Structure 1
Amino acid sequence: MSLNFYKNPIICADYSDPDIVRVDDDFFMVSSSFNHMPALPILHSKDLVNWHIINHVFSSLDLPGYDQVQPGKGVWAPSIRYHDHKLWVFFSTPDEGIFMCHTEDPWGEWSKPHCVQSALGWIDPCPFWDEDGSAWLVHAFAQSRSGIKHKLQLFEMKSDGSALIDEGTIIYDGTADLPTLEGPKIYKRNGWYYIFAPAGGVETGWQTVLRSKNIKGPWTARNVLFQGNTAINGPHQGGWVELDNKECWFVHFQDANLYGRIVHLQPMYWADDDWPRIGEIKDNNAGQPVLTWKKPLSISNTDDYTIQTSDSFAHGKYGLQWQWQANPQKQWLTDNNQALILNCYPLPYRNEQQTLYFAPNLLLQKFSSFQFTAQTELNLNAEQSGDFAGLIIYGERYAALVISYYNGEYSLYYRYGWMKDSGKVDEYREKITTLSSPNCLFKVTVGLNGICQFYYQEQNSEWQQIVRNFAAGKGKWVGAKIGIFASTESKQNSQGKCEFKYFNITHI
């Protein structure tokens, strides 16, 4: 492919519900993080094609229950905006309400989450500051919590974004024409107010734009991006930016099943009728996603600016690509300058079970390609029977290759399980072999459709393949993840530890 062209997806990883903003020569992206911590990854780009994780908005969520694994809960569909020399991120948690954080330095510290409005099932908030000094917020609804669906609600807001100041108005009911209307992003251009919003559902939907001369309506809808004859299903939910040369671009996600909601970039332009056109135009109004396209007129060449995956664990620290399953705890780690050391933290009891599914101390990262290989070296220093550590592929079904310590002996086990509709977890273990040493290399290859094959290598030996393969599956609202952990089956706290020397990802 020519260096002047890019290929979709621009990010083959689960950066769900992306929103973007331009600040001078920089572009910033934020995405949903659900129950994973640290939360709200901030990505940076100079050319809209190549992105790098630079920060997270906060490290833990100070709300009841988030010290435990809460699959599918947590941070939903944020918006990012630039106003008053600050970057602002508004987000919702579906069971608690709408929150806001801001910063003057996206690489630095963000303000702590501030509750703008307590509410059940108010989701996908987006702020808007008008030229007259007024401030507004639009949001959608989660029917599972609020009993409302297909509708958007608008509020006037304090200028500092701290609270809503009126009773709110339903400004569009999409029950008949725009089912599952959600994820609104509000803008103003040429005297028109616009709300970009997805409809039709995550897997099969489309992108809609609403337009009005008055922010309170009435609003007119036009559908502007469909799957068309491409393989890019449900192209919607994202944001647009405009360059100095008036080029416009739209970032959105595609639901790629077990790989999560991967990120695409579409060309966009404004027609003479002041309606946007997105993607490859197939008729007068609607487009379809492009697979390749000429790159934006970039401000600088950043082809080596990539999403972090591999990690040398320099100075005993892990990189920004990693997240825990719940609010992180100090007792999960031991300070060390040479390697990453995870403590054997007890598996929690949940629903009268003790399984990896609800372990909060899994250190995970997103799948970063449709096919890849991951390798790590670990050394388990067990303290009591039941200590174990390993490499895991995690979702609503999961599998792990682990070193376990029982009664003075180190052994290799394959553990796998899945969450059932009943809320119970089925988990199984198979002993592979007795190990001569607690030091081992582990590797997993992830093939097309998420078919995974685990391998291990003892010192001075050849790679050995685990006979049983594994079909990775998505999690609750997220794609499959890969990572490492250390734990113990004992009810007592363990002094056992596992040293991880590196984690290498190779894309196939």
Structure 2
Amino acid sequence: MTWTGHNFSRRAALATTSGLAVGALLPPGTAGAAAAGAAATYTNPVIWQDFADIDIIRVENTYYCSASTMHYSPGAPVLRSYDLVNWEIAGHAVPVLDFGAKYDLSGGRGYVRGIWASSLAYRPAEGTFYWLGQIDFARTHLYTARSVEGPWSRHATLPQVYYDAGMLVDDDNTLYVAYGNGTISVAQLSADGRSQMRAQQVFSTPSSIGTLEGSRFYKINGSYYIFLTRPANGQYILRSTSGPFGPYTLRQVLLDLPGPISGGGVPHQGGLVRTQSGAWYYMAFIDAYPGGRMPALAPVTWTSDGWPVVQLVNGAWGRSYPGPVVPPPPRQVTPLTGADTFDGTVLKPRWEWNHNPDNGKWTVNNGLTLRTATVTDDLYWARNTLTHRIQGPTSTATVQLDHSAMRDGDRAGLALLRNSSAWIGLKRDGGATRVVMVDGLTMDGNWNTTGTGIERASASVPGGRLWLRANADIRPGASRPGTFSYSTDGVTFTRLGPAFAMGNDWRFFMGYRFALFNHATRALGGSIRVTRFELSTP
């Protein structure tokens, strides 16, 4: 595998994997062997894209984190970094959401279901990555891979519901899971991870606190720690010096802490990781709608009696800190922005479908072909809508496509997709093609469609090639505008339609995404070909 280092010795792995027996060599906050030198100052959020419910680990000299994806497929992205600041999407731990027909947009829809807060771990004794998460509050699924790029496969399905679980690989290779909402429990899994051996409640949240969830489970210097969040403004930690089943003592880590995104929320629900030199960091997310939940990074020190303390700047989570001291990276990570010409024959991991795709209706072969897969007038029911996260604070998506193979009744284009959506694209009717701007695509609080779109502006388009552009300002605030334009030459763009005010209600959880779509309203058979997608920032 590439860069994951699973062939290094078990002893080295145990010494260098955060989220496992991380206190084996160095006490918290102790400087270790000299690294290559301090990196430059970094700015928060370290990732201005929607990656929430972070679990973070280190394996040798590489950092990995996972995130929630709800109804998007493939699910559970795994990101990789060599310095905790610059990240790339390496793969997805859940290749397909095969948890019921609703995830195929068949007979139902899986919006705001699917991949919730989950856990990423590494088991050095076998050189294997583990992903664990519950689906639909019904069962817990465990996936494994030798490399984060995959292939990932389902290792086990357990009947227990480990809500917002955090997984720990202890220094004797035993698997534990901390989980729960309000009531926090710990389970011990069998050696092969396929069954539960024991489960015990270890904590009940006092009513004065409210709710605690989002477990992250660590063993540090012989003590067991369960990191917990109080949504969406606090972080607490449980500590046991008597083993994984407690008893545990509670301490507040942060509450109502000002965050580094203007208008955004309190950093919370993340994980701890230790660098090669022994320094500690906390990576959390910030509610920053309409864009979603953005990861931020802060250094952590430890009290003399073994409790973590987030390092603040003027009483707040810092907008910037000195960069982590880490060895030189083996290569530069792949940027989260830039152009994709759909070279090769597979999609890059930056892409996720809205629900599972119909794999017979799309291909990548030095260009992306989207054939109509659904007859509907409702984009929220249309299969094979391909999404890309928006880069904050503002960014622009530009897509070049050939629409010459569209058929009457087809609708194709570039959307700002969420529970209130808008798009610029093409309508083919009566043998004529127009470029249109549409808004008024809406869902209610149960994620049922309440509006299928209102055409706000249109223009005729010659030929079969067109460039579409959407600009998104996802800074939390009053206006949150999305604007649309088009071009027939890729150079001069013409604004089309009014600005679209992106919604900022948190209850859809996922932030807005750019989305490529092509669906029929009359009959299947049409297609578009996308030759370039570019995500750019000012």
Structure 1 and Structure 2 fold alike (TM over 0.5):
yes
Amino acid at match of 1:170: Q
Residue deviations 1:419-455 (CA, integer Å, cap 9, x gap) = 1347342122325122223321111222345301101
Q: Distance in 2 between matches of 1:312 and 1:400?
A: 21
Evaluate the alpha carbon distance shift between residue 185 and residue 389 of structure 1 in structure 2; reply closer, same or farther with a 3 A threshold. same
Report the secondary structure of 2:72's partner residue: coil
Amino acid at match of 1:94: D
Q: 463-472 or 41-50, which moves further after superposition? A: 463-472
Report the secondary structure of 1:57's partner residue: strand
Q: Distance in 2 between matches of 1:290 and 1:480?
A: 26
Q: Does 1:151 align with 2:183?
A: yes
Q: Distance in 2 between matches of 1:102 and 1:405?
A: 45
Question: Hey, what does 1:25 align to over in structure 2?
Answer: 61
Contact 2:141 2:154 in 1 (8 A): no
Contact 2:41 2:322 in 1 (8 A): yes
Q: Which residue, 495, 504, 511 being the options, matches 1:465?
A: 495
Runs of 4 or more above 6 Å deviation = none
Question: Hey, what does 1:453 align to over in structure 2?
Answer: 483
Please provide the CA RMSD for this pair: 2.3
1:354-373 aligned at under 5 Å gives the runs 354-373=377-396
Q: Does 1:124 align with 2:164?
A: yes
> Offset of 1:413 from its aligned partner?
2.1
Evaluate the alpha carbon distance shift between residue 457 and residue 274 of structure 1 in structure 2; reply closer, same or farther with a 3 A threshold. same
Question: Hey, what does 1:197 align to over in structure 2?
Answer: 228
Contact 1:225 1:288 in 2 (8 A): no
Residue deviations 1:246-282 (CA, integer Å, cap 9, x gap) = 1111111111121111001110122211111112288
Amino acid at match of 2:513: K
> Offset of 1:227 from its aligned partner?
4.0
Contact 2:404 2:463 in 1 (8 A): no
Q: Distance in 2 between matches of 1:383 and 1:460?
A: 20
Contact 2:121 2:169 in 1 (8 A): no
Question: Hey, what does 2:245 align to over in structure 1?
Answer: 216
Q: Where do 5+ consecutive residues of structure 1 fail to align?
A: 142-149, 349-353
Q: Does 1:503 align with 2:533?
A: yes
Q: Distance in 2 between matches of 1:404 and 1:281?
A: 52
Contact 1:403 1:438 in 2 (8 A): no
Q: Distance in 1 between matches of 2:404 and 2:143?
A: 41
Residue deviations 1:233-252 (CA, integer Å, cap 9, x gap) = 22211111112321111111
Evaluate the alpha carbon distance shift between residue 421 and residue 88 of structure 1 in structure 2; reply closer, same or farther with a 3 A threshold. closer
Question: Hey, what does 1:433 align to over in structure 2?
Answer: 459
> Offset of 1:384 from its aligned partner?
3.3
Evaluate the alpha carbon distance shift between residue 133 and residue 402 of structure 1 in structure 2; reply closer, same or farther with a 3 A threshold. closer
> Offset of 1:315 from its aligned partner?
3.2
Q: Distance in 1 between matches of 2:491 and 2:519?
A: 27
> Offset of 1:321 from its aligned partner?
0.8
Amino acid at match of 2:104: D
Report the secondary structure of 2:360's partner residue: helix
Q: Which residue, 353, 356, 361 being the options, matches 1:324?
A: 353
Q: Does 1:111 align with 2:153?
A: yes
Residue deviations 1:88-127 (CA, integer Å, cap 9, x gap) = 11112133321111122223312225212344xx411122
Q: Which residue, 292, 304, 320 being the options, matches 1:292?
A: 320
Question: Hey, what does 1:93 align to over in structure 2?
Answer: 135
Amino acid at match of 1:192: S
Q: Distance in 2 between matches of 1:170 and 1:276?
A: 24
Residue deviations 1:9-59 (CA, integer Å, cap 9, x gap) = 000011110111111111111111111011111111111111111111132
- Percent identity at matched positions? 25
Evaluate the alpha carbon distance shift between residue 155 and residue 401 of structure 1 in structure 2; reply closer, same or farther with a 3 A threshold. same
Contact 1:98 1:125 in 2 (8 A): no
Residue deviations 1:180-223 (CA, integer Å, cap 9, x gap) = 20011111122211111111x12xx1111111123222211111
Aligned residues: 481
Q: 405-414 or 122-131, which moves further after superposition? A: 122-131
Residue deviations 1:358-403 (CA, integer Å, cap 9, x gap) = 3231100111111111111111134532012101100110011111
Contact 1:317 1:339 in 2 (8 A): no
Question: Hey, what does 1:49 align to over in structure 2?
Answer: 85
> Offset of 1:326 from its aligned partner?
1.1
Q: Distance in 2 between matches of 1:372 and 1:414?
A: 19
Q: Distance in 2 between matches of 1:503 and 1:133?
A: 44
Contact 1:390 1:402 in 2 (8 A): yes
Q: 305-314 or 478-487, which moves further after superposition? A: 305-314
Q: Which residue, 215, 226, 243 being the options, matches 1:184?
A: 215
Q: Does 1:67 align with 2:95?
A: no
Evaluate the alpha carbon distance shift between residue 90 and residue 454 of structure 1 in structure 2; reply closer, same or farther with a 3 A threshold. same
Report the secondary structure of 2:250's partner residue: strand
Question: Hey, what does 1:333 align to over in structure 2?
Answer: 362
Evaluate the alpha carbon distance shift between residue 387 and residue 210 of structure 1 in structure 2; reply closer, same or farther with a 3 A threshold. same
Q: Which residue, 22, 45, 48 being the options, matches 1:9?
A: 45
Q: TM-score, normalised by structure 2?
A: 0.84
Q: Does 1:174 align with 2:205?
A: yes
Q: Distance in 2 between matches of 1:454 and 1:316?
A: 30
Report the secondary structure of 1:345's partner residue: coil
Amino acid at match of 1:18: I
Report the secondary structure of 2:93's partner residue: strand
Amino acid at match of 1:332: K
1:391-430 aligned at under 5 Å gives the runs 391-416=414-439, 417-421=441-445, 423-430=448-455
